[in-house]
Every structure is written in structure tokens, then in C-alpha cells.
Structure 1
Amino acid sequence: MVTTDLLDIDTLLSSDEKDIRSAVRRCCESAVDPYVADWFEAGDLPPIRELAKELGDLGVLGMHLDGYGCAGMSAVAYGLACLELEASDSGIRSLVSVQGSLAMYALWRWGSEEQKVEWLPRMAGGLAIGCFGLTEPDHGSDPAGLRTRARRSGGDWLLSGTKTWITNGSIADVAIVWAQTDDGLRGFVVPTDTPGFAAHTIKHKLSLRASVTSELVLDGVRLPASAVLPGVTGLRGPLSCLSEARYGIVWGAMGAARSAFRTALDYSLTRQQFGRPIAGFQLTQQKLAAMHQELALGTLLALHLGRLKDTSGVRPEQVSVGKLNNVGKALDVCRTARTILGANGISLEYPVIRHLTNLESVLTYEGTAEIHTLTVGQALTGIAAFR
């Protein structure tokens, strides 16, 4: 029997972890896989609210958080869910990641009790969708320079600025917006029906097409004093959320790689050239062996970080190691898989080109490869080389 797990990595998982993985895979097989190529080709995610509700019923939205309707699962369980979601499409994993690890985590970690009670149960159930407004047109890798401003107006706050490349932005019910104040960088809980708030869907993407990506415009948005996240001031707030989301990417990238690898393996066993399956040629077997190796090592790295996160805790530079390695290796796997499929590799009849173009975005968002390289470099040398 042909296997894709030569290292028996499954033996490192508990029965509960395997059950969670299987439940997410079944959901993806019924609700995502039959349709995602069409969504990607159309550049839209039409059933996003229905899908969010189904994912909420499954318990994967904010599944690694405790209380307020959240499932309280382990980091490894959440990682396995991310792997299965991204095996279907990076855009679907992004929907879950932005909801749970950015918007919900910001509320859960830094919000007031009133904010948590108001939003988290609905978000966990998929009844309310959140987005995370940090990146700006002129400030991506350097969030300390962002220009969105919040100033006091009597007992209220007035927010003005623009955010871009915001997943879920134009369909969100609540936005977590980070803005400069006289006291430093602060986070604000912004219901999207607040006057002065607008969101515009970004079109003409050639990556993450089965995902809603938006520009947020805040034009004198008036918020009560209770809208500010009380638990944090400064970059520590948004960076802590990004670390949570990056952890999910470490796993998710391996889902995209697994899908591409299995597709290439299956294709190579049935595609006939020169009178035999192309899997029987040495060059093809070299490609398959190299892809399997990167997939296995990346999955082991993700599992190691997950076990750390569930026990002693995981440091930001450790997450950077994971994202830097796994996204880059997943891209290599997808590119190699594409060569095995030949011309068929660029067809949406197969998932490979979709995963490949999606990963080009995953390589950049939530910390570019360059930023994670410098994060690792600083951890190794003690010298910051960002400026």
C-alpha cells in the first residue's frame, strides 16, 4: 500500500487529536472541496456567512481560547485544524485564523469583560465575523509608524485613517482597529455599522481569491470610551495577536503542501509516458522523495511548536522559525508538484496551482520572510538588524 507518512507521525498524536482532525477534514470535504476551485476562479467567497456558521458549529472559531463559548482546545488541536483547513484552501484557513487568532484573541487577551461578553460568544458560533485592522497602505512590516489616529473628543474617541489588505473586512460585523493615541498605540473595538466606517473589497487579486480582502476607511468614527481595549498599550498588543496567527500558519502551510504532494503522487502513479507510469522514473522519484521529506520535517516542526505551546509556552522567535521554514518549504513542494503534473499543473482541475499562488500571499502576510529572517537573526546574535 502506498503511504504518505513514512515517519509514522500519526503515532505522535492522541486519539482525541486524530478525532478533531478527522472532524475538520469531513467538514472541508463536504462544505469546501467541491466548490473552492469555482470560488477561486470567481475571486469570491459567496457563502462566507454560511461557512462561518458551519465552522462555528464545529467549534473551530477561537477553538484554542477558553470560555465565552470557545472550545478551549489545545494548541496542537488548533494546529491540526489549520492544517486541514489549508489543505482545502489558504483562504479558508485565513477566515478561521483572522477570526480566532487575531480578532477574537485580541478581545480575549486584551479586552474588557463587557467586550468579551458582547462579542466572543457570537464570534465563536460564527454568528458575528471579525477583522483585524493593523496594516496600512504605507505601513506593513513597520507597524510602529502607522498613521491611523485616535484622539479624545469629550468622553469619546474619534478615529481616522485607512487600513488595507484586511481579511474579512467588508463582511465583518466588528473590526479590531489599532491606532496611534497621545498615550501610545491602542486597540479599539469598532462595530462596522458605526457612522464613518467604510470597507471596500479589494479586487483583481491573483492569490487568496477564495477570501474576502478589503480596505478599511475610518473617517471621524466616533466611539465611546468603552471601545478601547483596556489591557494593553503599545506594539505588544498587535504583535501578540500576530504571533497567535503565525502559529496557525506554521501548520496550515503543511496542509497546502500535503495536498500538492498527494496530488502529484497520485498523478505520477497513473500518468503514462514512454510506456510506464512516470512514478517509475528516477527523476520523478527524486522529486517525490524531496517533497515528502520537507512535508514530514515541516509537520514535525509544527507539532514540536504545538507541544511547546501547550506546555512551557512558545516564544515569538520560535514561531518565526516555523513560519519562515514551513511556508518556504510548502512553496517548494507546490512548485515541484506542478512540474510533475506538467501542463495539467496550471489547471484548476487540480489544486496545485491554487495552493501555489495562495502561498505567495502567505509568504508575505503576518510577517514577510525577510522580517522573520531578521527576527531569527536577532534571537541568535542579540543584535537587531531591522533598521
Structure 2
Amino acid sequence: MNAWHKFLLFNAKSVTFRKSFIVPLVILVVGTVGIFIATDHASNKLSMASIVASDITNNQTQKQKFINRQEKVPAALRKRLNAELEIVKNYNHGNWSKAAKNKIIINNEDIKTSRLSGDQDSAKAMQLENITLAYSVKHNAFPNTQDLGVQGFNFLGDFLNIYFPEIILLFLIFMFSPLFIEKYQGQRNMDKLIPRSLAFLDGNRLTTAIIGAAFAYLMIVILVFGIAALTHGIGEFNYPVVLEADKIVSTVSIGVLLIKVIVLQLLSIVVTMALIQLLANVTRNQNLTLLIATGLSLLQAVAPSNFSFMNGILQFLPGTYFNSYQIVNQQLSYTTDNAQLTFGFGLSVLLFYIIILILFNLGYERIIRSRNIV
């Protein structure tokens, strides 16, 4: 085993056996299981069968009133009630195709009503829902509730969309920042006492952090997908996700979307680790490093939804691509009116920042602090 691998192993052990690594990781794992349980419960309450259940009771009451008055039951009422009863029956028996087909019938009627009342947003939402329902009709696929997917692919997509920027990334910052700051003792760089180049030592630490953070992230991804798959099945790789647009409606399979999301999120992790190393070298203080790294990451992640004056430059900020799910499904591009917020542009931006940060980190001590003895 050469010096590089020995030091890599040493760094890995120094990180993984710390409470600052173990405690956040345990919280992430337990939290993930808790999130799935809560999602599963909410999904059951908001399934298409549950939604139409209360409407069935109301429509049956209306139907009985017509019968009691010996009046003809309106055809529209009969049609809707029959469709709702078919939804519940087929949904409860796992016949997703027929359940979805009847839900489309109801949605089409509601779309007409919404348009007549001027509620275009509701009409559009139901039109988009019909796209995923049409897939269920054709492939007898389980109709996952929007934002509350419970099958493998769908739950993973919702999880990464909601929890990556503000939760997972912040946990990784706390887990790996000690690796970069521990070399400083009272503002002194103890690496200068080791008979190895500073570039070698810093490069090894960064490699350790990137591998460790990527491993922790992928472990969470596998856990998220696994608990959903074991409970409700893996889902459909080609399940359609509607891309945000004004007029032209298109879709992408959730499997392809997730691959792109994971690629962007892994690159975001690399950028974050390199940023932490830079901040540690500049501040030589753990608390200050954590504060600045957390603040910068959060500010960049929330900028698209909170700072509209920055919409024109969002594509150049690496933190924008922490919202990778919304980049790939074009939601950020649509809401910010910035056509450059794409997967391809994100790859270029993140790779650019990775190269710049790594080069700066490796040369920082030699160039910037070259006059310091220790």
C-alpha cells in the first residue's frame, strides 16, 4: 500500500469514527424511514380512490333525492357516480388501468367546468394529470399521487426534489468539514510538519471527502429507493414526468430524469466539498467555515425562488444546480424565464467550478501563504 492509499485510509477513519459523522448519518437514515412512513400515510389519504369517496356519498344522496321525488336522475350525475364507483372498485382490486381510465372521464368533465368558470389553473393541472393517467391506462401502472410517490422511482424523485438542497447537502457539510479544518491548530498549519507536499495532503483530503460524501449520498439514494420498492414495488422506469412549459407539453421518463438529477447532485457535492476546503484554508476556523459554507449553499439554493432580481445570472451560480430536480424538469427555467437553466449548462458550470476550486485549493498554501513558516 503506497503513501497515497495509506493517507486516504487514515483520513477516512478520522472522519467516519467521529460523532460529527455518525450522528448526522443516523439522523438521515432514521429521518428517511420516517419520511417514507409519512408519505405512505398521506398518499393513502390522497389517492384517487380516497378523493372520490366523499364525492360518491354526496352524489348518492343527490341521486336518492331525485328518486324520492320520482324524477329522472340527470345523465351527468349517473355518469359521474358510475365512474367514481368504478374508480374505487378497480383501485382497491389493483386494476390501475380501469381506475385511471375512469378518473380521466371525471377529469375531462371537471376541466370543462373549470374553463367555464374561468379557473384555467385547475383545468391545466387536470390536463397534466391526465397525461400520467393515460400512461397508467396503457401499462396498468400504479397511479402515484403527485409529490407523494410511494413506489421506488417516484418516491426517490420526490425525496431528492424536496430534501437534497436544504437537508442532505447541509448534513454532508457538517459531516466532512472537520476533515479540512483539523490540520489547523491555533492558526498553525500542522501539515507543514509532515514530510509530504501540501498539494499531496490537501488533494488526499479532498479525495477522501468526495468519495465519502458520494458514498453517503448514494447510500441514502439506495435506502430511499429500497424501502419504497420493498413496500410498493420499484415502479415504472418510463413513468412520465411532465416538463414545465407555457404551451408545448412534453414528458420525460422518471428513470432518465433521476439519472440526470443524481449526476447533477453528485457534482454539486464535489463543488461543496471543494468549497469547504477553500473556506477552511482561508478562515482556519471550524465554526466560521461551517457558517460560511452553510450560508453560501443555502443562499444559492433558495435564490431562484426568493430573489427574482437574480434570475438573469442564476445559470452561472453553482448553487442553482443544487435544485437539480427542478433543473431537469425545467421548472426553474420556466418560473425564472431563464432558458439557460438546463442539465447541459449545469454540467458545464459545475465542472468549471470544480476545476477552479481544486486548482486554487492545491496551490493556496504554496502561493497565498508562502511567507508563513507554519
TM range (shorter): under 0.3
> TM-score under structure 2 normalisation?
0.26
Richer in helix (by share): 2
Task: Specify the structure having the higher radius of gyration (Cα).
Answer: 2
> TM-score under structure 1 normalisation?
0.25
